[in-house]
Amino acid sequence: MNNPTYFHFPTLSPLYEAIQTSGIFPDSKFFPDCSPKSDPADILVAYEKAKSQPGFDLKSFVATHFEFPETPDTSYQSANKPIREHLDNLWDTLMREPDLTLNTNHSTLIPLPYPYIVPGGRFREVYYWDSYFTMLGLQVSGRAEVIQNMVDNFAHQIDTFGHIPNGNRTYYLSRSQPPFFALMVNLLAEIKGEAILLRYRRALEKEYDFWMDGEHVPAALAAGDPLLTPAAEAAGTRTHRRLVQLADGSLLNRYWDDDPNPRPEAYAEDLHTAHQSSRPAEETFRHLRAAAESGWDFSSRWLSDEQNLASIRTCDFLPVDLNCLLYYLEKTLVHTYRQLPDHTPVEVFKDRARLRKAAILKHCWDAKQGFFFDFNFVENQRAAAFTLAAVFPLFFQIADAEQAASVAKILEEKFLHPGGLVSTLSHSGQQWDAPNGWAPLQWMAYRGLMNYGHSDLAEKIRHNWLSLGEKTYADTGKMMEKYDVENPDAPGGGGEYPNQDGFGWTNGVYLKMQSL
C-alpha cells in the first residue's frame, strides 16, 4: 500500500474554522473543495496579518487566495429529447477526465488514473456506492469501457489506500461506503467473462481485509471500545474498528470512521449537532461520520430519538445491509478461488459465508414481526426501525421463502407509495426517511423480490418509480438525487443540502429498470 501525501484543509487552522463557521458560503462543502493558489503556510501568514485590518472581508480574502470549485452545471436541459436519449447523452456531461497535473499538495481532490462518472450537482467527485448503480445504466448504454475504467479506479484506490474512500477527496479518506466493489466486478464479469474475477482478486481480498481488520491481531478484538457500555463488555462483546465479535462468537460488521472530528464538508452542521448532545463531542462526531460511511446520512435508522439528530448512535448497530454485502464479497471470493489450482481458500470462504449468513439470520431476523432489522449490539437487541435495508437479504438470497414472503407483505402494506418505496416509515425531516425514495433501494427491492417470485409487487415498484422519474423529467427536464414518493407532485427534500440534479445513480437505475 502506497502512502502519498495529500492536502487536508484542517491544516489551514484557524482560517479553516473561521471560514467554516462564518456562513459566508451556504454549502459547507464549498470551501473544502477550493484549492489554495499558493503555499497554505503563506496564506495563513497573510490571514494573520489581514484579519485585524479595518474593513477586512473574509469572503474577499478567500477569493484572493483560493481557486473556487467549478459551479455545478444546472443548465443542462432535455431540449425536449426523449428520456432515453437524454440519459445516454448525459453520461458525457457527468464524465470527468483524469487530472494528472493536479497539485495534490494544494487540492483535496485525489486524482484518479482513468475517466469516471460523478453524480452531479454539488458532488464533483466520484462516490463509491453510487457508482455501482451508475454502472447499471452504463451497461444499458453500451459504455463497457467506462465501467472498466471506474472499476480500475476503485482497484487503484484499494491498492493506494487499503480501501475505497467515500469519495476521491482527502476529507473522505478516513472512511469508506457500503462495499459494492464485488458487485461492480461481477457486473464487469457479465460483460467480459469470469476471468475478470482473477484480475481483481487482490483488490477484492484487500477490501475484505479492510472490513475485517483486527480479526487476526492478538487482542485487537478486545474490551476498551469507549462506545461500548459496561453491560455489553460484560456480556462478552468485543470490537475493533469495523469488526464486532458477539458473545456467541459471531463476527459481524458495523460502520465506523477513524477520525473523531467534525466532517470538513459539514463542519458547521456537525458542530451544531454535537452542541445539542450531552455526550462528549467526539462520540457524536464518530457516529455522524459512521452514518456518512453507511451512505444513509442521515436517517432515523441511526437515532435513539428519531426527531433528534444529536441522538445518533450509528456505531452501535450491526447493519443488515452491510453484512449482506460482506456475505456477497465472501461468496465472490469463493467463485474467484475456484478458478485457481489450489481450492483450499474455497472451503475457507465457503465457511465464512455460511457463518455470516447464520449470524445475519439469527441476529437480524425478527420472526414475530416478520422483517429484517439492524442489530444493536450495545443493547443486545434488534433495532426498532423498519427500513428498506430489509430487502438486502432478499437481493443476496439469504432469506428463505417464508421470510421473503413476509418482507414482501410488509413492503406492500407499509412502504409502497404512488412513486415507489419510502426508505423508512419515519417522517423525521432527514433525507433518508419518508417521504423520500432513493434509486438504489428501489433497485435492490425490485431484484430481491424477483429472486423469490414476487413479480407482481416488484413490477408495481418498478412501474411507480419509473413513472415518477418520467413525470419529473417531463416537468423539469432533469433527473433528481431523491424523490418524494408519497406525493409525486412534491420535490424530495430534507437533510443538510438541497436536492441535487444530475443524477448518476438515478439515471443508472432508470435505464436498467426501463430496459427490462
Write out the catalytic residue numbers: 297, 481
CA 434/CA 429 separation, integer angstroms: 8
Tracing cell 443488515 back to the chain, one arrives at: 320
For residue 14, whether the previous peptide bond is cis, meaning omega lies within 30 degrees of 0, is yes
Strand extents, DSSP E, 133-197: none
Report H helices in 276-423.
281-294, 320-337, 344-364, 392-395, 401-410
Residue type (1 letter), 331:
K
Neighbours of 366 (CB within 10 A): 15
CA 159/CA 186 separation, integer angstroms: 19
Scored b (16 or more CB within 10 A) or e, 58-73 reads eeebbeebbeebeebe
Phi, psi torsion values for 275, nearest 5 degrees: -70, -25
Answer yes or no: are the C-beta atoms of 160 and 1 closer than 8 Å.
Answer: yes
Answer yes or no: are the C-beta atoms of 100 and 480 closer than 8 Å.
Answer: no
Answer yes or no: are the C-beta atoms of 309 and 294 closer than 8 Å.
Answer: no
CA 481/CA 484 separation, integer angstroms: 11
3-state secondary structure of 289: helix
Element (H, E) at 196: helix 196-199
Answer yes or no: are the C-beta atoms of 441 and 487 closer than 8 Å.
Answer: no
Burial status of residue 89 (CB atoms within 10 A of its CB: 0-12, 13-18, 19 or more): middle
CA 479/CA 514 separation, integer angstroms: 14
Phi, psi torsion values for 436, nearest 5 degrees: -80, 145
Q: What are the beta bridge partners of residue 371?
A: 366
CA 94/CA 67 separation, integer angstroms: 21
Element (H, E) at 246: none
